[in-house]
């Protein structure tokens, strides 16, 4: 079951500059920075009352975010729904014809199992599902 909007991600060409903007210009609380090897991204999180803003940047200049930034310069990248049973949600969505970017969920940012739904299954929007490992 989907239980909440976990975060919205923005692809940024300069991670430190964007962290400065969200922290100092917008006054959000910077939680942590994390390199996610499995997704080839560097991430930075700003938790809000019920969700987070996630900044995503290429890790070592490669991976899907690098391609996105080369193509678009930066921008709204994906939104993420929190699941309380990711395997069940994937199975349910697969029976409805949804396509995923990976065969199975994998360990993503801040100790969550994650999987991405193909944008062509959601009118061009990239949607991530995540479930914390300790739940």
Residue 36 within binding range of Co ion, rule CB under 5 A: no
Residue 80 within binding range of Co ion, rule CB under 5 A: yes
Residue 65 within binding range of Co ion, rule CB under 5 A: no
Rounded distance, CA 56 to CA 61, Å? 12
Structure tokens at 34: 């994390």
**Which helix (H) or strand (E) is 56 found in, with range?**
strand 52-58
Of 24 and 122, the one with the shorter C-beta distance to Co ion is 122
Question: Which are the contacts of 109, defined by CB distance < 8 A and separation ≥ 6?
Answer: 34, 36, 39, 43, 45, 54
Rounded distance, CA 50 to CA 98, Å? 27
Of 4 and 24, the one with the shorter C-beta distance to Co ion is 4
Residue 9 within binding range of Co ion, rule CB under 5 A: yes
Rounded distance, CA 124 to CA 106, Å? 22
* Nearest-approach distance from CB 133 to Co ion, in angstroms: 15
- Integer-rounded Cα radius of gyration of the chain: 15
Residues 102-131 that bind Co ion (CB under 5 A): 128
Point out which span in 24-32, 60-68, 76-84, 88-96 binds Co ion (CB under 5 A).
76-84
Of 24 and 76, the one with the shorter C-beta distance to Co ion is 76
* Nearest-approach distance from CB 92 to Co ion, in angstroms: 21
**Contacts with Co ion, residue ranges (CB under 5 A):** 9, 80, 128
């Amino acid at each position: 079951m989907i239980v909440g909007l976990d975060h919205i991600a923005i692809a940024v060409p300069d991670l430190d500059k964007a962290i400065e903007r969200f922290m100092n210009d917008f006054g959000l609380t910077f939680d942590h920075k994390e390199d996610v090897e499995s997704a080839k991204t560097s991430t930075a999180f700003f938790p809000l009352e019920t969700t987070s803003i996630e900044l995503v940047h290429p890790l070592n200049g490669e991976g899907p975010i690098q391609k996105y930034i080369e193509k678009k310069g930066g921008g709204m990248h994906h939104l993420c729904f929190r699941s309380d049973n990711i395997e069940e949600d994937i199975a349910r969505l697969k029976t409805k014809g949804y396509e995923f970017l990976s065969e199975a969920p994998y360990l993503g940012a801040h100790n969550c199992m994650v999987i991405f739904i193909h944008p062509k299954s959601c009118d061009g929007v990239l949607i991530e599902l995540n479930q914390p490992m300790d739940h």
